[in-house]
Amino acid sequence: MSEVLALWNGLAEEEAALRILPCCGSWGWAAGMAGRRPLGDEAALLRAADEVWRKLAVKDWMEAFASHPRIGERKASESAAPQSAAWSAQEQREAAAADDVVKAALAAENAEYERRFGRVFLVSATGKSASEILEILRRRLGNDGATELREAAEEQRKITAIRLKKWLWG
């Protein structure tokens, strides 16, 4: 068991929720995770994270989505924890390095996505180039609302798993 997990297992429930919150951005998820303790290893942590995520209400998903900055922008939501903002910057490193044409296209498509769906576009950006992200964004603009909500929720689930591993192993 990692030292982080051992320490987290021993915290008071409210403190445990606060410590894990940057991995997802939803208080409902963080509280659900704190309530699942003790968790013995990374596999149990990731299983619990998926189970808690899938049982949340849409309002909890929206809270998690809102904690992310727009793709291609460095500024995270004011509600985002500092660790979450730092992870977003790492995850979007490729998008941030894009040329001006791709950055402008991302900004325009992000605005269209927000107009259409009423929330920030969410994709697990780790390891993806800005051009790949732009292609995904354009494809997802063709989704209906219900399909897009499911896709965004799945992307958040992926992001959460990546962040849990970073949180666990530093």
Tally the C-alpha atoms within 13 A of residue 102's C-alpha that lie toward its C-beta: 16
The residues that are catalytic are: 68
Distances from the Cα of 80 to the Cαs of 10, 25, 65, 133, in angstroms?
25, 7, 10, 22
CA 69 to chain centre: 10
Helix, strand, or coil (residue 134) = helix
Cα distance between residue 113 and residue 87, in whole Å = 23
Q: Could you say which DSSP state residue 99 is in? A: -
